[in-house]
Structure 1
Amino acid sequence: MNNKAILEKANAAITEGNNEGFLLFCTEDTEWTFVGDRTLRGKEAVRQYMATTYAEPPKFMVEHLIAEGDFVTAVGKISLKNEDGKTVNYAYCDVWRFRDGKMAELKAFVIETK
């Protein structure tokens, strides 16, 4: 499976509420940087983030998926429920770096849209 197909399969797991299925595609030392916000280091930190942020599966609309070498960039929109149960819409650009067929690093640019 190429990196683009791996990301598509991983994202499908998230939309089905299968966070553990998604995590199978991540390296143990995966690192997620949400630019201007925080950095998660390691699969366990990502698991804890997903348990709260993705308590209800997010809705994705991928507009572009661009693969080059070890990188896959996804551009699109995502809707998530906040702590109050209100749906919040975002535009995002995720830059994923792959290592040995797994997602090793994410640099995410996420902006709330009105």
Structure 2
Amino acid sequence: MRENNKTILEKANAAITKGDHEGFLAYCTEDTEWVFVGERVLQGKEAVRQWMATAYAEPPVFVVENLLAEGDYVTALGKISLKDETGETASYLYCDVWRFRDGKMAELKAFVIKA
């Protein structure tokens, strides 16, 4: 039986909290596109890999408060804490809207604000 998209996202998130970037990226399409609304756009798995190497040099701590799925989309609402450019821990609120294709994460629209 094929896994549902919510389960796939939960497994991907579990990998990232362990610092397993490649484990997370295994759940993404090669042409994945990540849009951090108002900030930047990452095109392709390699761009995401490079971004994660710095942004997630230390695994983030996050709490998913709601996970909603319909069709090819899963929306995650929650809180995330990670180190900023100065090495200080910063806390954010986020809403991630994921689009899935063939059981993999193909697109992310991330709305993130400092808490």
TM-score bin (small chain): over 0.9
Q: In structure 1, what is the Cα distance between the partners aligned to 2:27 and 2:48?
A: 12
- How far apart are 1:5 and its partner, in Å? 0.2
Give, in whole Å, the separation in 2 of the partners of 1:84 and 1:67.
Answer: 36
Q: How does 1:20-99 map to 2 (within 5 A)?
A: 20-99=22-101
More displaced 10-residue stretch of structure 1: 79-88 or 40-49? 79-88
SS in 2 for 1:64: strand
TM score, norm. by length of structure 2: 0.97
TM-score normalised by L of structure 1: 0.98
Distance 1:12 1:60 in 2: 10
**Alpha-carbon distance in 2 for matches of 1:13, 1:60:** 12
| 2: CA distance, partners of 1:69 / 1:55 | 33
1:108 aligns with 2:114: no
Q: In the TM superposition, what is the alpha-carbon distance from 1:83 to its structure 2 partner?
A: 1.9
2:5 counterpart residue number: 3
SS state at 1:57 partner: coil
Secondary structure of 1:85 counterpart: coil
Q: Which runs of 5+ in 1 are unaligned?
A: none
Count of matched residue positions in the alignment of Structure 1 and Structure 2: 113
Aligned-residue CA RMSD in angstroms? Answer: 0.4
Offset of residue 80 of structure 1: 0.6
Q: Which runs of 5+ in 2 are unaligned?
A: none
* Over 4 Å off, 4+ runs: none
Sequence identity (%): 76
Quote the offset at 1:85 in angstroms: 1.2
- Give the whole-Å Cα distance in 1 for the aligned partners of 2:35 and 2:82: 18
Aligned with 2:49: secondary structure?
A: helix
